[in-house]
Structure 1
Amino acid sequence: MDDDDIEPLEYETKDETEAALAPQSSEDTLYCEAEAAPSVEKEKPTREDSETDLEIEDTEKFFSIGQKELYLEACKLVGVVPVSYFIRNMEESCMNLNHHGLGPMGIKAIAITLVSNTTVLKLELEDNSIQEEGILSLMEMLHENYYLQELNVSDNNLGLEGARIISDFLQENNSSLWKLKLSGNKFKEECALLLCQALSSNYRIRSLNLSHNEFSDTAGEYLGQMLALNVGLQSLNLSWNHFNVRGAVALCNGLRTNVTLKKLDVSMNGFGNDGALALGDTLKLNSCLVYVDVSRNGITNEGASRISKGLENNECLQVLKLFLNPVSLEGAYSLILAIKRNPKSRMEDLDISNVLVSEQFVKVLDGVCAIHPQLDVVYKGLQGLSTKKTVSLETNPIKLIQNYTDQNKISVVEFFKSLNPSGLMTMPVGDFRKAIIQQTNIPINRYQARELIKKLEEKNGMVNFSSLI
């Protein structure tokens, strides 16, 4: 599952929002047992003395002139050299200014311009040393701009004050922003607390990237409490942090009652087997997660067995990544047999690509895939065989399909469209894998199906036949 699968929340008017948040009767109210994160007093930056205020009154006179002229005036106002790339691309939907060394004043000039911009939907500002002044300018701009939907301010060393400013903004729920990347900003425990307080009631942010920060177990507890309350997030990236068992258990406890999160990446942490146990228990109850990445978390065969208990009952998970965990053949068996025992399993992709398997395992896997033809299990190779012998010498599936279509005087595209009940040029990867293996006109095995998917798959979890035209 890719973040592109996530749909932004349609912006509501103020009246609609107030109506949606109006108090309900006690009979209609749902109660959650999870406790809210402890409150922290938020000291808002003093706006009167701040050099980062957008000075909207000064910019209003520019609303009637072109964006280029407005930006040039803003650069004069704050004393920075204009960025030619920004000028050339300000009418594009995606503005990529990563690694431009803009600094807080350069960001302020851009923010002033974007207040009245209606074309830029995605703004990339990674690695620009924007500091707290720059993030304040951006948040003030977002109070006025209802067109910008995606913002990347990763690797800007925002720290505690930056987290405080972002938290203040998120609590207002007053923006079209739905995708926010905050990776690599040296966020620690108190930052997590501030952000979680805001996200507990924020319903607009759909995709959040907090990877490569410095969150540990206490932050995991705050995040777990937030996940139990949040009703907006669909994708959360917490990879490359410092969560160990306590943080892992807290995160999983929050996911037990969460009803919106579909994609969770907690790779490169320290869940261990106890964290795997908590994840397995969560998978028994959670009915929303479709993608979980726990790669490189110190999970052994014991942990894989514990996750398997969840797979036996789960009816929604499609992708499970366990790459770079010390799992061997024993753990691999427990995972695929759990899927076999679950007739309602929707698993499509199991990544154990560092595990060497046996020929017997492959035979068992063939049986599992006969029951669940949408499933693909990626492993390293066969035990005791050289690399050359493990390389599949299967016939190129495209050639097989081409031969069939030539004989039957139909186009390759027509053949692929026949696999899709809707007759469209795109379809989900799992549905395609199941359809191509189950069709009876051409003998295609799962390895050949994997090759086809590599050629046809887009980044959004769909295959697209139009590339064959």
Structure 2
Amino acid sequence: MDEDEVPEMNRDDVDAPKMDVDDAATEMHDDDVFETDTRSETKVDDGNRQLQIFHMDSTAQNRLHSIKLWPPSQGRRQIFVERITIILTIPSILSRMYGLLSKEEAQEDAKRIEAATFETANQHFEKESDGDGGSAFQLYAKQSSTLMMEAVKRGPRVKQEITIAPENKKVVFDISKGKRAFIDADEAKDLLKPLQEPGNKYTKICFSNRSFGLDAARIAASVLVSLKGQLTEVDLSDFVAGRPEDEALEVMKMFSAALEGFDLRYLDISDNALGEKGVRAFSELLSSQSNLEELYLKNDGISEEAAKAVVELIPSTQKLKILHFHNNMTDDEGAIVISELLKKSPILEDFRCSSTWVGSEGGIALSEALATCTGLMKLDLRDNMFGVKAGIALSKTVSLLTNLTEIYLGYLKLENEGSLALVNALKDSAKFLEVVELAGNYITAEAASGLAEFIVARKESLVKILLSRNELKDEGVITIAKALEEDFPRLTEVDLSFNMIRRAGAKVLAQAVVGKPGFKVLNINGNYISDEGVEDVKEIFKNSPDMLGPLDDNDPEGEEYDDEDEDADEDKQEE
């Protein structure tokens, strides 16, 4: 048979009602071999209710000794995608619990799973000493199994209304890429001509990075009015830069009036130094929005009064999925107001309230309100002043957020107690967590065992572990490094920079990650590693130097700490 001729699998061959997807996914392990030069067979064992995805007859198995298993041809990769699609759409116990994926969703997930696992396995193959591709193929199958289980347990996504324009028409009209400058009336007429072309299909405009004065705003407003019923996404971030306050507010009012009644899904009015006056300048626009799915208010001077104006003006956030308040002067009082908005946003998936001067009281209010948002997938609360009490309050909410994939909690003054409360909650709840960030929280070696337990519990899903600027020292880092010796099929980055690490900790950590398939970077910059230790680490990464981050901030003469502690760390390394 020709290399790319692989028989198609008929879905009717699978006894779907009797198939258990959990068993099917876990069946794909080291002994399951993807066809190389022979026919592939798919069957169901009714007694065990298991789907054997890759099966080879004895002749094929004997031939494996004389053929290369990697890389699979493009044709075989496509067959693999088709089979994953079938498995993801077969009714099972899990699909009854989490919902059955549509064929379109399953195809999308199957392509993503195959591409991710192929990349990881191919990187591994390039480092294989034997070069026959056997271990690369096993990794390909095993990691696919893990990602398939994640896709099944995530269940079907919430359907979104998507407007697709003909391929020969643009959808996004973007003037943000040009030179950052004031726009006058003549330039506005010239720039906005495409929006006036009959039959244009623009559904999104981006006027960011251009500063509109009154005359230019009048031109733009008249153009925008003609697009009612067509635009669904509007980006007006940073569009009055350098204008006097009175002029800027008047420009905002013009745009607001022009866009009143537009049925928007996406609105970005970031970087406009709004304050309460600016928010209310957009009152006509905001008060006509009941179907927003994404709202961005970053770097807008959102104080307590401005936050009240936002909550007051927007009639409904029932459909809101993304809400960003980064870099505002929100403070505790503003956070309490925002918490009321969160309680009215039941399907929120992505919330960012970083660098907003929020302390313990506001942190507790936000934490309790987020319990309403049980579908949250991404949470970013970095660079606030929560403290331990707010951290513990947040941990109670995190235990309810089973869909979390990314959580950023750096520089919140959590200390050991707050940090451990959070990782313990994440250990039990966030089964799909990919990114965890706890930088700058005064975490010491005393919390390392708790961190290590969490890391191991989430080893199948974690992609990035970011723990920079803490106080783990060698003792804590060695404990974490021991945990990292386990298999982490998706891990690409570990950041333990600025943690007072010396030679012993750096070596053990480097050894723990250097051989991981798909791993990309270890950051241990800004530590106290001796010159000899730096050479040790570089030697460990000699075959993959790009995986070791820069060491230009390393301080071999770094701050002294108890010699007995350092001796103990050396002993722990030897154990």
How high is the TM-score relative to the length of structure 2? 0.49
The structure with higher relative contact order (CA 8 Å, sep 6+) is: 1
Output one character per residue of 1:79-117: Cα deviation in whole Å (capped at 9) or x when no partner: 834337734775777755434321354334223212334
- 2:75 corresponds in structure 1 to none
Distance 1:257 1:193, change over 3 A: same
2:226 is equivalent to residue 116 of structure 1: yes
The one of 432, 441, 445 equivalent to 1:329 is: 445
Match of 1:131 among 248, 251, 258: 248
1:216 pairs, out of 310, 323, 331, with: 331
Determine which of 496, 504, 507 is the counterpart of 1:379.
496
Q: Which moved more, 1:90-99 or 1:159-168?
A: 90-99
Counterparts of residues 286-365 of structure 1 (less than 5 Å) = 286-316=401-431, 317-340=433-456, 342=457, 346-355=461-470, 357-358=473-474, 361-362=477-478, 364-365=480-481
For 1:262 and 1:320, locate their aligned partners in 2 and report how far apart those are by CA, in whole Å: 12
Bigger drift between 371-380 and 83-92 goes to: 83-92
SS at match of 2:295: strand
Q: 1:286 to 1:348 in 2, by over 3 A?
A: same
CA distance, structure 1, for counterparts of residue 218 and residue 268 of structure 2: 16
Which moved further from structure 2: 88-97 or 134-143?
Answer: 88-97
Trace 1:186-335 onto structure 2 (pairs within 5 A): 186-197=301-312, 201-316=316-431, 317-335=433-451
Q: Distance in 2 between matches of 1:137 and 1:244?
A: 37
Distance, in Å, in 1 between the alignment partners of 2:251 and 2:487 is 55
| 2:185 counterpart (73, 80, 97) | 80
C-alpha spacing 1:157/1:303, structure 2 compared with 1 (3 Å): same
Q: Which deviations, in whole Å up to 9, do the C-alpha atoms of 1:393-446 show, x marking residues without a partner?
A: 99999xx99xxxxxxxxxxxxxxxxxxxxxxxxxxxxxx77xxxxxxxxxxx99
Alignment TM-score, normalising by the size of structure 1: 0.59
Whole-angstrom CA distance in 2 between matches of 1:7 and 1:352: 33
Structure-2 change in CA distance of 1:382 and 1:370 (3 Å): farther
Query: Aligned residue for 1:185?
Result: 300
**Alpha carbons of 1:260 and 1:450: their partners in 2 closer, same or farther (altered >3 Å)?**
farther
Structure 1 stretches lacking a partner, 5+ long: 1-5, 13-66, 68-77, 402-431, 434-444, 455-469
For residues 503 and 365 of structure 2, what CA distance do their matches in structure 1 show?
43
> Judging changes above 3 Å, is the alpha-carbon distance between structure 1 residues 372 and 327 closer, same or farther for their aligned structure 2 residues?
same
Structure (1 or 2) with the larger CA radius of gyration: 2
Deviation at 1:221, TM superposition (A): 1.5
Distance 1:110 1:290, change over 3 A: same
TM-superposed deviation, 1:156: 1.7
Q: Contact conserved, 1:211 with 1:239, CA < 8 A, in 2?
A: yes
1:254 is displaced (CA, Å) by 0.7
1:198-242 CA-partner distances (Å, limit 9, x unpaired): 568323443232222111112212222322221343222211111
- Structure 1 position 379, deviation (Å): 1.5
Q: Is the 8 A contact 1:163 1:195 kept in 2?
A: yes
| 2-structure distance, mates of 1:306, 1:395 | 26
Describe the SS at the equivalent of 1:350. strand
Query: Once structures 1 and 2 are overlaid, which stretch shifts more, 234-243 or 328-337?
Result: 328-337
Structure 1 residue 350: Cα displacement: 2.4
CA–CA separation in structure 2 for the residues paired with 1:189 and 1:263? 24
Q: Which moved more, 1:164-173 or 1:319-328?
A: 164-173
Q: 1:7 to 1:449 in 2, by over 3 A?
A: farther
* Residue of structure 2 equivalent to 1:417: none
- Distance in 2 (CA, whole Å) between partners of 1:152 and 1:275 is 29
